[in-house]
Structure 1
Amino acid sequence: MTPRIPTLDIRRFDTDREAFVAELGAAYREWGFAGINGHGIPQAQIDGAYDVFKAFFALPEATKKKYHVAGGGGARGYTAFGVETAKGAQHFDLKEFWHIGREIPDDSKYREVMQPNLWPTEVPGFREHGYGLYQTLDSLGSKVLSALALHIGLPENYFVDKTDYGNSILRPIHYPPITSDDIPNERAGAHEDINLITLLVGASAAGLEVKSSRGEWVPFTSDADTIVVNIGDMLQRLTNHVYPSTTHRVTNPPGEQARKPRYSVPFFLHPNPDFVIDVLPSTVTADNPSRYPEAITAQGYLEERLREIKLK
Structure 2
Amino acid sequence: MNLDTQPPVSQPLPSLPVLSLADDPAPFAQAIGASFRQFGFAMVKDHGLDADLIARAWQLTQAFFALPEAEKRRWAIPGIGGARGYTPFRTEIAKGALVSDLKEFWHIGRDLPEGHPLAGSMPPNVWPETPEGFRETFETLFAAFDDVGATILSRIAVWLGLEAEWFVPAIADGNSVLRLLHYPPVPGAPDGAIRAGAHEDINLITLLLGAEEAGLELRTREGNWIEVSPPPGALVINIGDMLQRLTNHVLPSTTHRVRNPEGARAGFSRYSMPFFLHLRSDFPIETLPGCIGPDNPDLYPVPITADDYLQERLREIGLRM
TM-score normalized with structure 2 length:
0.94
Partner of 2:92: 84
Decide whether the 8 Å contact of 2:212 with 2:232 is kept in 1: no
C-alpha displacement at 1:179, in angstroms?
Answer: 2.4
Query: What's the CA shift string for 1:128-174, capped at 9, x where partnerless?
Result: 11111111111000000000000011100000111011000000000
Partner of 1:260: 268
Q: Runs of 4+ in structure 1 displaced over 4 angstroms?
A: none
Letter of the structure 2 residue corresponding to residue 2 of structure 1 = P
Decide whether the 8 Å contact of 1:204 with 1:262 is kept in 2: no
Decide whether the 8 Å contact of 2:91 with 2:318 is kept in 1: yes
Deviates more, 1:83-92 or 1:40-49: 40-49
Report the secondary structure of 2:105's partner residue. Answer: strand
Partner of 1:11: 22
Query: What's the CA shift string for 1:89-137, capped at 9, x where partnerless?
Result: 0010000000000011121111111000000012110001111111111
Could you tell me which of 8, 12, 32 is aligned with 1:2?
Answer: 12
* 2: CA distance, partners of 1:37 / 1:2: 19
Partner of 1:284: 292
Report the secondary structure of 2:121's partner residue. Answer: coil
Q: Following superposition of structure 1 onto structure 2, how do residues 1-312 of structure 1 map, counting pairs within 5 Å? A: 2-4=12-14, 5-12=16-23, 16-180=24-188, 182-203=190-211, 205-312=213-320
Letter of the structure 2 residue corresponding to residue 147 of structure 1 = R
Deviates more, 1:196-205 or 1:166-175: 196-205
Q: Which consecutive unaligned segments of at least 5 residues does structure 1 have?
A: none
Q: Which consecutive unaligned segments of at least 5 residues does structure 2 have?
A: 1-10
Letter of the structure 1 residue corresponding to residue 12 of structure 2 = T
C-alpha displacement at 1:202, in angstroms?
Answer: 2.6
Report the secondary structure of 2:60's partner residue. Answer: helix
Q: CA-atom RMSD, angstroms?
A: 1.1
C-alpha displacement at 1:19, in angstroms?
Answer: 2.0
Letter of the structure 2 residue corresponding to residue 264 of structure 1 = S
Percent sequence identity over aligned pairs: 50
Letter of the structure 2 residue corresponding to residue 298 of structure 1 = A
* 1: CA distance, partners of 2:126 / 2:89: 18
* 1: CA distance, partners of 2:269 / 2:153: 32
Report the secondary structure of 1:112's partner residue. Answer: helix
* 1: CA distance, partners of 2:276 / 2:81: 15
Closer, same or farther: CA 291–168 of 1 in aligned 2, 3 Å: same
Letter of the structure 2 residue corresponding to residue 304 of structure 1 = E
C-alpha displacement at 1:181, in angstroms?
Answer: 5.5
Decide whether the 8 Å contact of 1:86 with 1:92 is kept in 2: yes
May I ask how many residue pairs the two structures share in their alignment? 309
C-alpha displacement at 1:225, in angstroms?
Answer: 2.2
Decide whether the 8 Å contact of 2:211 with 2:236 is kept in 1: no
* 1: CA distance, partners of 2:197 / 2:146: 26
Deviates more, 1:194-203 or 1:232-241: 194-203
Decide whether the 8 Å contact of 1:101 with 1:169 is kept in 2: yes
Report the secondary structure of 1:100's partner residue. Answer: strand
* 1: CA distance, partners of 2:268 / 2:104: 15
Report the secondary structure of 2:182's partner residue. Answer: strand
C-alpha displacement at 1:17, in angstroms?
Answer: 2.8
Report the secondary structure of 2:120's partner residue. Answer: coil
Deviates more, 1:128-137 or 1:270-279: 128-137
Report the secondary structure of 1:173's partner residue. Answer: strand
* 1: CA distance, partners of 2:306 / 2:312: 10
